């Protein structure tokens, strides 16, 4: 049964008590020599990195608990600890884990649809939280994590490692000081090969050892209509956010950082689709997002098909497949990875190169010890904004309609940056032998937003997609 979050308004205030959380915080300020006890929730992907980092003794942390709804994944990781002579407590249900007073910090690396609820429950239970990107599955619940972090005075770090890059940080300051003149466009690219995930004709069996009710959590508990439960959830809007919210969130965050924008864009639209194959995914594998910031827009490009039909390599834009390009009056900056930022003059001559980054997990632990969220390189507020930019772009797509290429060109006529980006998208699809007469692209709705309240202007359907209907008892509370 699905229930709207507002239906749970009165009960949500008691959410913490309902699963056994006390009113007061269990976590205590840790001194420089105290070991911080960490629980990692979800580690069939990014969570393994968290396990490895928080197991480093020199950081003053120790992994004391592991949680995963897949018993096989859980047993496999527990066995690794046993083989090293280390003890760790296993949990399959996050609610049981959060009842433990032997845990100071939780690291969340579950599928996206669990990020916000897991973080909020953890905060309410008195834990500090490291939550992977995107921090939310939708805009509304991201704001709720921020509210919870502030209310309970918890340290909450976003897993956008680029924020701990001093190379990027110094380049941001250098560019915003005017060394290349005004920024004209901030552009993120996510050109990553994403082949078909296959197409099934009937519901697939849930793999043995998985608590599917817990796996679905806040999302609808529907029959599994794809070959793989794990990872391919990224390409289903019920649980994931496409590559925009998978890889793209990193580059979206860096581009917004350069622009210095601390609110959602006042206008956004999307052009794209899932083309080149027909499978069980419903998120775009080819997409253009235009955030109409002033004076310089933020443009994001997603390409999941290769450079051309049959090729293994991916396209590159100005020598980068996955990166950020800041176009300025006096040249441009390329950020090809988390540790490098390179500035070029108008002739393309390299004039400045910065490299290096700190450990993002270490930065989090530093703030856990100091109890100062200002010590965080990626406070939850930053994570919320950058995640929400991905979500609003996807909302435009989801409300859009398939249109002919000529109609799309007419609708963006006069927008030079969007038109140029769209023209390159069409060239890319032609090289991949995509027939847009048979599988036309979706022209997303042009959406206007009031960034102060994070709601769209005059579009009820778009506002409805800012949140979702939650499945009891996995309800993100209205009042955190």
Angstrom CA distances, 201 to 226, 237, 240, 283, stand at 9, 19, 22, 19
Strand-strand pairing, 286-291 and 340-345: unpaired
Residue 347 pLDDT exceeds 50: yes
Spell out the residues 6+ positions from residue 72 whose beta carbon is closer than 8 angstroms to its own: 207, 208, 209
As a whole number, mean pLDDT of residues 218-227 equals: 98
Listed range (16-20, 232-236, 274-278) with the worst mean pLDDT: 16-20
Cα–Cα distance, 112 to 388 (Å, whole number): 13
Residue 126 pLDDT exceeds 50: yes
- The predicted pLDDT at position 5 comes to 41
Residue 28 pLDDT exceeds 60: no
Residue 25 pLDDT exceeds 60: no
Torsion sign over Cα 314, 348, 177, 374: positive
Confidence of residue 32 (pLDDT cuts 50, 70, 90): low
Neighbours of 347 (CB within 10 A): 7
- The predicted pLDDT at position 29 comes to 56
Cα–Cα distance, 391 to 352 (Å, whole number): 34
- The predicted pLDDT at position 358 comes to 98
Predicted structure pTM score? 0.94
Query: 129-163: per-residue pLDDT in tens?
Result: 999 999 999 999 999 999 999 999 999 999 999 99
């Amino acid at each position: 049964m699905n229930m709207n979050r507002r239906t749970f308004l009165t009960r949500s205030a008691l959410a913490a008590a309902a699963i056994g959380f006390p009113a007061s915080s269990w976590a205590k300020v840790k001194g420089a020599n105290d070991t911080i006890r960490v629980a990692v929730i979800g580690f069939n992907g990014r969570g393994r990195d968290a396990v490895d980092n928080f197991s480093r003794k020199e950081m003053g942390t120790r992994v004391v608990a592991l949680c995963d709804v897949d018993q096989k994944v859980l047993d496999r990781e527990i066995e690794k600890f046993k083989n090293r002579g280390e003890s760790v407590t296993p949990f399959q249900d996050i609610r049981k884990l959060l009842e433990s007073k032997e845990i100071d910090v939780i690291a969340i690396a579950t599928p996206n649809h669990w990020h916000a609820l897991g973080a909020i429950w953890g905060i309410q239970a008195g834990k500090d939280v490291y939550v992977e990107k995107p921090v939310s599955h939708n805009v509304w619940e991201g704001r709720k994590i921020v509210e919870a972090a502030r209310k309970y005075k918890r340290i909450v770090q976003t897993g956008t490692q680029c924020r701990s890059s001093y190379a990027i940080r110094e380049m941001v300051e250098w560019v915003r000081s005017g060394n290349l003149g005004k920024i004209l466009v901030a552009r993120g690219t996510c050109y990553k090969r994403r082949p078909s995930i296959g197409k099934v004709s009937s519901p697939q069996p849930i793999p043995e050892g998985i608590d599917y009710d817990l796996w679905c959590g806040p999302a609808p508990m529907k029959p599994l209509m794809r070959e793989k439960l794990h990872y391919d959830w990224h390409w289903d809007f019920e649980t994931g956010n496409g590559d925009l919210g998978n890889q793209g969130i990193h580059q979206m965050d860096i581009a917004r950082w350069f622009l210095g924008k601390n609110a959602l864009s006042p206008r956004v639209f999307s052009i794209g689709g899932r083309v080149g194959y027909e499978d069980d995914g419903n998120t775009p594998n080819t997409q253009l997002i235009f955030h109409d910031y002033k004076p310089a827009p933020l443009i994001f490009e997603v390409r999941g098909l290769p450079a051309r039909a049959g090729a293994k390599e991916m396209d590159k834009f100005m020598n980068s497949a996955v990166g950020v390009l800041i176009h300025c009056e006096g040249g441009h900056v390329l950020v090809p990875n988390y540790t490098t930022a390179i500035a070029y003059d108008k002739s393309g001559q390299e004039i400045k190169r910065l490299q290096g980054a700190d450990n993002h997990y270490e930065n989090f632990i530093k703030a856990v010890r100091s109890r100062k969220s200002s010590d965080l390189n990626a406070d939850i507020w930053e994570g919320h904004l950058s995640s929400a930019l991905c979500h609003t772009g996807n909302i435009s797509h989801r409300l859009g309609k398939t249109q002919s290429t000529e109609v799309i060109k007419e609708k963006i006529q006069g927008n030079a940056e969007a038109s140029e980006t769209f023209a390159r998208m069409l060239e890319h699809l032609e090289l991949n032998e995509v027939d847009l007469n048979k599988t036309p692209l979706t022209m997303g709705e042009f959406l206007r937003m009031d960034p102060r309240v994070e709601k769209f202007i005059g579009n009820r359907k778009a506002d409805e997609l800012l949140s979702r209907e939650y499945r009891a008892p996995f309800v993100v509370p209205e009042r955190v």
